[in-house]
Chains A and B, each alone.
Chain A
Amino acid sequence: MAKILIIDDDQDIIDTLTMILENSGHTVITKQDTDNLLNDVKASRPDLIVLDIMLPEDSQAGFKAARALNKDAEVGSIPVLILSAVNQRSNLAFGFSESDISTDFLPVEAFIEKPVEPQVLLSKIEHLLYPG
């Protein structure tokens, strides 16, 4: 089973995700902000990162973190699953879909909108960890 890092400022979301993932045999480590993220990821070496976009420090902290991770040679290959209640696509449009995923705009492997259906989450994670 895999080691999964969850980054979300909402403790309730962390708790429910942890419950679902641990129940499926995964090991979960958590963070509530993106401070010192690169070093933490290098130290803990997760197999997958579940990342919220709107964090208290910045409404686009998740975006920035995803781009930073993507550019890093050491951890850039770790798959990132974006998880958010609401995101801003333009001045008036909210909400992403997986069609928005691209190297420039959303450099992640998958996107899930909160609230998370356990089966959807597990299936996405399975797909990211064991593609093909």
Chain B
Amino acid sequence: MTGLFPKDSKALLDEKADVYEEGLRTTEMSERSRWFTQTRWYATGLCFLGSLWAALPSLNRLHKCTIDYRYFLAVAILLAVSNLIYVRVERAVTVCQPSKEQMCRFLGIQMLTDFMALSLLTYGLGGVETPILILFLPHIILSALFFSRSDSFIITWFGIFFAALPMVLEYLRLVSTLSIFDEAHKVSVISSNGIITSGYILGIAAAFLVCWYLVSDIASVLLLRERQLGRAFNRLKLLDQEKSQITLRATHELKAPFAAIKSYVYTLRDGYCGVLPDKAQQVVVRIGERCDMLMEKISDIIHLSNLRTATQANVGLTETDLMVIIPKELEDARLIGKHRGIEVQFRSDKMACPILASRDHLSTMISNLLRNAVNYSKDGGVVEVSLEAAEGKVLLHVRDHGIGIPAEHQSKIFEEHFRSNNAVRFNPNSSGMGLALVREIVRLHNGDIRVSSQLGEGSCFTVTFAQLQ
């Protein structure tokens, strides 16, 4: 016995998979990488502008500070050269379709280069004297979003290392202490006090780590939700396929016996089992008619239940031209009305009228409306069908001059099995499902259906759809 889901679908529903294992998909990583390299060009440009600004002595005097333009320039060159390499690598890896791990490493290397550039800039701009250290934070936030928690934790520690590096080197007197201010405004705590230096570095480390923790925690929750949504989506897809198969099987199981009975009826009727007496012939024809009615009713019930749970996504809406579908359905309606002398007219000034629709369902809807109009028309009557477009909408009118609908029943005619008394008297063989099917199909296409009717004078059904531009 098979289970509810096919075997290969079990993997999709595996609840135990590590949420960090999957991470971002490779294509998303490639897009992130491109975004990184593009943003780095802006940063490079800003650094070049910074070096120009720093090179202007008048501006430096105005702000009572001296910025060595060479640091800005060095960082700009570092970013420009590294970015050129990354862009080339990016183009190469796009062709060979890298794995997720390779893309992670590539992004990690880019971040380390940025940290180095920031570290150099931090040193050149006097360390604690400027808020340049804040620029480490976006990288830490992005690493927490891009990478697994363990990888982003490592990246964060690299950030702390490169942020603290200028201060440590200055404290150890391995590099000279730079300041952008003159002696009167100089902040010189870093080079003179070990406790303050350590505290400063610990403060930076704590800020970076708190930032990493919060962002990676939120990112992991989001990733978990994304996976849960993905699983729910797969489950719904499988259930939809299952439902469709069950409906198909049920339709077959219900229709097949009637098909067999009807086939016997045909063989009896056409004399393949010998010539029947007139009375028996009449009975056989009646059996056949009742078979047809029951079979139609079963089909309508299954079709309706299927439509009720359908969504636009699983129906598959495509560009469908009403001017292609309507003529075919008109032909069928004319055939049905021919023996009662009913004329079916069509009027439209459109050559084409495309809407977003399911062709099969649209045919069913138009067919049901036309049959309905023909069935409730008086003998020798006229059914008028017209199609018009106005204000971005397509309006299909189906008007008959038949028995009409009592005012108190007009709100109920789209309910399944509902039939007004005059309709039952006029056409006792209808299943009472046709208009319910029409309403569900209209709903599925985000359309609208309205009816206006006068008892004894006829009815007009108007279906509205959005026009496809």
> What's the Cα separation between A90 and B245 when bound, in Å?
10
* B267: Cβ under 8 A from any A Cβ: yes
Mostly, the B contact residues are helix
* A114: Cβ under 8 A from any B Cβ: yes
* B153: Cβ under 8 A from any A Cβ: no
Q: How far is the CB of A68 from chain B (nearest CB, A)?
A: 22
Binds B, one of A10-18, A32-40, A70-78, A124-132: A10-18
Q: Is the CB of B306 within 8 A of A115?
A: no
Q: Is the CB of A86 within 8 A of B252?
A: yes
Q: Is the CB of A92 within 8 A of B259?
A: no
Query: For residue B315, which residues in chain A have a CB less than 8 angstroms away from its CB?
Result: 91-92
Q: Is the CB of A91 within 8 A of B266?
A: no
Q: Is the CB of A114 within 8 A of B259?
A: yes
Query: For residue B241, which residues in chain A have a CB less than 8 angstroms away from its CB?
Result: 91
Q: Is the CB of B249 within 8 A of A23?
A: no
Q: Is the CB of B263 within 8 A of A94?
A: no
Q: Is the CB of A114 within 8 A of B256?
A: yes
Interface string of A36-61 (1 = CB under 8 A from B): 00000000000000000010000100
Q: Is the CB of B240 within 8 A of A16?
A: no
Query: For residue A12, which residues in chain B have a CB less than 8 angstroms away from its CB?
Result: 260, 263-264
* B316: Cβ under 8 A from any A Cβ: yes
Total contacting residues, chain B, CB less than 8 A: 33
* A89: Cβ under 8 A from any B Cβ: yes
Interface string of A62-106 (1 = CB under 8 A from B): 000000000000000000000001101111111000000000000
Q: Which listed residue, B252, B266, B303, B360, touches A54 by the CB 8 Å rule?
A: B252
A-B contact count (CB 8 A): 83
Q: Is the CB of B256 within 8 A of A16?
A: no
Query: For residue B360, which residues in chain A have a CB less than 8 angstroms away from its CB?
Result: 89-90, 92-93
> What's the Cα separation between A92 and B251 when bound, in Å?
12
* B272: Cβ under 8 A from any A Cβ: yes
Query: For residue A114, which residues in chain B have a CB less than 8 angstroms away from its CB?
Result: 255-256, 259-260, 262-263
* B307: Cβ under 8 A from any A Cβ: yes
Nearest A residue to B302, CB-CB:
A94
> What's the Cα separation between A131 and B259 when bound, in Å?
28
* B244: Cβ under 8 A from any A Cβ: yes
> What's the Cα separation between A43 and B264 when bound, in Å?
31
Q: Known contacts A10-B256, A12-B260, A85-B259: does B266 contact A115 (CB below 8 Å)?
A: yes
> What's the Cα separation between A119 and B266 when bound, in Å?
10
Residue picked from A59, A91, A118, most chain B C-beta under 10 Å: A91
> What's the Cα separation between A20 and B70 when bound, in Å?
99
Interface residues of B in 225-265 (CB under 8 A from A): 240-241, 244-245, 248-249, 251-252, 255-256, 258-265
11 further A-B contacts with Cβ under 8 Å, apart from A59-B252, A92-B358, A118-B266, are A10-B256, A10-B259, A13-B259, A16-B264, A19-B272, A59-B248, A88-B248, A92-B315, A93-B361, A114-B260, A118-B267
